[in-house]
Structures are given as C-alpha cells and as structure tokens.
Amino acid sequence: MRTLKIALIPAYRPGSELPVTVRELHESGFEVVVVNDGSGSAYDLVFAQLSGSAAVITHHANKGKGEALKTGMRYIREHFGAPFAVVTADADGQHRTGDIIRVCDAAAASPDTLILGSRGFDRNVPLRSRIGNTVTRTVYRISSGVRVYDTQTGLRAFSDRLLHAMLEIPGSRYEFEMNMLIEMPRRGITIRELPIETVYLDGNSSSHFDTVRDSFRIYREILRYSAASLLSFLVDYALFCLMTLFTGSAVISNSTARVCSSTFNFTLNRRFVFRSDQTLKTSAARYFTLAAAVLALNTLILRSLALTGLNTYAAKLLTEMILFIFSYVVQHKFVFRKERASA
C-alpha cells in the first residue's frame, strides 16, 4: 500500500518563501497542511496564495510553534488514513524542497524511526545559531546518552505509527522540539539524521526564537532536575556532616544521609521533574534499585578517595559530582522512562 506523504508547516508571519515551498511540495505529490499561528491580518495575502495547494488552519492568537505543530497533527489524524509519513518544515524558506522530500521518504521507509534533517554548521552560519546548537547538542548528549548533531532542526519526519506519541509530548513553543528528542529515546524510538543543505536567509533574521526565554523552555527539564538534585544534595550533605560529628564514621554517616536524601529526591523527580505517569510501585522499585547502586558506588568512591588522603568533606563533594550525570541518565532512560505509545 502506498504511503501518503504529508508536509506540515507551522507559520508565524511568513514571507514570500512560504507560497513557493508549498507550491513545490504540492506539485511533488504532497498533501500540505499549513498552520497560521496568529500571524494577523497583515499576512492574509500570503496565506491566500496557498489556496488550492494546502489546507490552512488558523490560530486567531499566537500559541507557539509546538502548539501549531500539534494542531496540524490533530488535523492530519482526523483527515488522513494510514499509512502516511509526516514531515515538518519551517515556513521561512530555509529547508530546500529536495531535502524535505528526502527526509519524508526516509520516514516512510523506516516507520518506527524519527528522521532529522541535519545541517552542517560551518563559518557561514550565524554565530548565534552555531553557539546555540553546540550548547544544546552537548547538554542533550550528556543528559540522554544519544548523539544528535543538529538538535535544533525543524525538518523532521515520522510515520503514522509515531503520531500518538508526538501528541503526548509536552510543550507549546520551541521547547516542544527539544522535548521530542528527549521523549523519543525514552519510548524506545530510534532517531536518525540525514544531512541537508544549510540555508540561512539574511542572517536568519526571520527567526522568531527568543534566545533567553525559549532557551529556558528548551532546558527546563534539565534545569528542574539540577534544582532537585541541588536541594537533595544539600539535605544529604547537611545530614552527612551532622552524622559525622556524632559518629565519626564516614561510612555510617554517608549511608544514613543517602537514605534520607534519596527518598526526598525520588519525590521531587517523580512529581516535578519527569512527571512520571507510572505507578508509584513501579517507579519506586526502579528508583531505589538505582539508589542502592548509587549508594554502593558512592561508598566505594568515597573510600577510594579517602585512601588518597583527601579531606573527607572534599571527597564527599567530588563523589557527588561524579555520580550526578550517571544518576540523571539512568533516571531519564530507565527509572522514569515512559512506555512506548501505540498509534
């Protein structure tokens, strides 16, 4: 059975590039869905040019890129039958039609995989974009254990099998795309990149990305985890120091502090960081299995550092730093991992 190819384009105050891209995709056999994300009446003429080539859905107020993508996905779910492949592209002309087609074809051929159109970042790319992608790529690699070169690409494709999972991903603005990369590996879904042409028109001046505000949204889960870890560490370290004064034993003090801080950290992570939908029993069993392993590693590292003559309190700080990333990755990929959703 032939796989239907659908292009989904969220558009906020688009330029003349949008009608050109839509026409080329329509002529290439695509069904095209464009979401006008509250662009205002000044852009009615641009959207009017899409008549006959695309279905246009309008938000009367700007809701953000993530919400625009979800609106388009819900429209696709209601109006098209499987099998189909959806490719999301930006409205500013920075994705070549040939690349859009290649990425969509890859998703049709690999229906259980999220395909990313991956740009190269050479010196012709605006500095803001190079720095932003480098930082995001590094943070994502550390936190997820998955290597993705272009974490900020808007050119992505997936099949009807993954549509339900996409609609469950939180986020209404630019953070939706990062959340997508975070959620897919957690659900056991493979991510694959295809190289595409890097295009920046007029220094990327058409981008509506707010560096501070939208970066905060992108890194929100990682920031929440860091805050929860910091609070738990303060509880752990305070108890460790207090118990050491009374017992004189680093091992007993470390064990007692770890039990208390782990319970505190589990509650924070389950409710506020990963917002797990698993049962308390399941997530608790996984978490405290990890906690036991971390406790063993914590004590082993602490003893090893003590043998070097390092101050007890400094050794404790260094131990926590070593285990911070390890604990996040395991919680993200195993403890609070969401089950793969069916279409």
Q: DSSP secondary-structure letter at 339?
A: P
46-71: average pLDDT: 96
What confidence score (pLDDT) does residue 248 get?
A: 85
Q: Where are the alpha helices (DSSP H) in 145-219?
A: 163-168, 175-186, 211-218
CA 77, CA 68: separation in Å to the nearest integer? 14
Q: If DSSP states are collapsed to H, E and C, what string results for 216-264?
A: HHHCHHHHHHHHHHHHHHHHHHHHHHHHHHHHCCHHHHHHHHHHHHHHH
Give the CB-side neighbour count of residue 195, counting CA atoms within 13 A: 2
Cis peptide before 83 (omega within 30 of 0): yes
Count of positions (residues) in the chain: 343
Question: Tokens 């782990």 map to which residue?
Answer: 262
How many other C-beta atoms lie within 10 A of the C-beta of residue 95? 26
203 pLDDT band (50/70/90 cuts)? very low
* pLDDT value for 209: 46
> What is the structure's pLDDT at 28?
97
Question: What token pair was written down for 41?
Answer: 């009446």
Name the phi and psi angles at 56, rounded to 5: -110, 125
pLDDT at 12: 96
The residue ranking higher by pLDDT, 32 or 170, is: 32
Flag the least confident range among 70-79, 82-91, 139-148. Answer: 139-148
In this predicted structure, what is the pLDDT of residue 208?
Answer: 45
Quick one: pLDDT band at residue 217, thresholds 50, 70, 90? low
- Residue 72, burial from CB neighbour count under 10 angstroms (0-12, 13-18, 19+): buried
Determine whether domain 4-218 maps to CATH 3.10.150.10. no
Backbone Cα Rg of the chain: 24
Helix axes 127-144, 312-330, angle to 10 degrees: 90
Where in the chain do CATH 3.90.550.10 domains reside? 4-218
What token pair was written down for 246?
Answer: 């009374």
Cα–Cα distance between 314 and 305 in angstroms, integer?
A: 9
**Mean pLDDT lowest among 95-99, 143-147, 149-153, 217-221:** 217-221
Average pLDDT value over all residues in the chain: 85
Q: Quick one: pLDDT at residue 72?
A: 98
pLDDT at residue 64, rounded to an integer: 93
31-37 and 190-196: which strand pairing? unpaired
Query: How confident is the model at residue 212, as a pLDDT?
Result: 52
Q: For residue 216, what pLDDT is reported?
A: 57
Q: Of 14 and 211, which is predicted with more confidence?
A: 14
- Per-residue pLDDT at 31: 98
Burial of 307 (0-12, 13-18, 19+ CB in 10 A): exposed
Quote the pLDDT of residue 86: 98
Q: Name the residue with higher pLDDT: 283 or 160.
A: 160
Angle at 326 (CA atoms; ends 322, 332), nearest 5 degrees? 150
Q: How far apart are the first and last CA of the chain?
A: 18
The predicted pLDDT at position 23 comes to 97
Where is average pLDDT lowest: 205-214, 217-226, 314-323?
205-214
Percent of the chain with pLDDT over 90: 43
Lowest mean pLDDT among 66-80, 95-109, 149-163, 304-318: 304-318
Stretch 241-269: mean pLDDT: 87
Alpha-carbon span 87 to 184, nearest angstrom? 16
163, amino acid identity: L
Residue 45: Cβ-neighbour burial (10 angstroms; 0-12, 13-18, 19+): exposed
pTM higher than the cut 0.75: no
Highest mean pLDDT among 58-67, 279-288, 301-310: 58-67
- Res. 190: pLDDT tops 90: yes
pLDDT tops 70 at residue 214: no
